[in-house]
Structure 1
Amino acid sequence: MPFPRKTLLILMAALAALAASGCSTSEKSTQSSAAAAPAFDGRCNADGARYTVGKSASADLLEEARVKAGAQVARILRPHDMVTLEYRSDRLNLNADDSGQITRVNCG
């Protein structure tokens, strides 16, 4: 017995919404409250995190660099990581080489 047209449309809309929500990423592991950040406007300033170049990538270093850069979120990017192409002025990126050493710092 086929579904009525209205029911089919509702199911298709729900499925589309579910599929679209699966495309978003979560950065909860690198976010913390805005109260922990210095009194910046939430935009990242990579100069505050340049000291990390040459250091070993770690969660503690990432959080410390995020706070010093005034960023809302941060991530460590390794050479073969897949990344999104959107620019976020509130995100700090620590780029690491294959051995886990930070080689570059930027916002976006």
Structure 2
Amino acid sequence: MKRLILACALALPLAACKEDDDVTASGPDPDACNASQYQSLVGRDEAAVAEAGIEPGQKARIFGPGDVLTMDYRSDRINVELDAAGEVVRVYCG
């Protein structure tokens, strides 16, 4: 009887781990924030970012070295990373 209870206790968490094929197969959209359309900004200065219509806010972050950022991941937020000279080094979602 104890073995049956133990076997059920061990099997219960596995039953709860049912894999959702749709989410696992495709994963989150890596370009949900449309960062691909802004890749031409890489190598340009921060003024070009503003000209492209990207303004810091809830759905956009523009940051440089040493800036403090939250670690939350938001697929709909565009991130523009600047180097110490103020040039864009990376544009990505997150």
* Aligned residue pair count: 61
Counterpart check, 1:99 vs 2:88: no
- Structure 1: segments with no counterpart, 5+ residues: 1-42, 67-71
Aligned residue identity for 1:88: R
Q: Deviations over 1:68-94 (max 9, x none)?
A: xxxx72121101001001001111001
Change in Cα spacing, 1:90 to 1:74, as seen in structure 2 (3 Å) is same
Q: Deviations over 1:36-64 (max 9, x none)?
A: xxxxxxx3021111010011013x62462
TM-score (norm 2): 0.56
Q: Deviations over 1:5-50 (max 9, x none)?
A: xxxxxxxxxxxxxxxxxxxxxxxxxxxxxxxxxxxxxx30211110
Question: What is the identity percentage for the equivalent residue pairs of Structure 1 and Structure 2?
Answer: 42
Match of 2:7 in 1: none
TM-score (norm 1): 0.49
Match of 2:43 in 1: 54
SS in 1 for 2:37: helix
Higher RCO structure, 1 or 2 (CA under 8 Å, sep 6+): 2
**CA–CA distance in 2 between the matches of 1:98 and 1:53?**
14
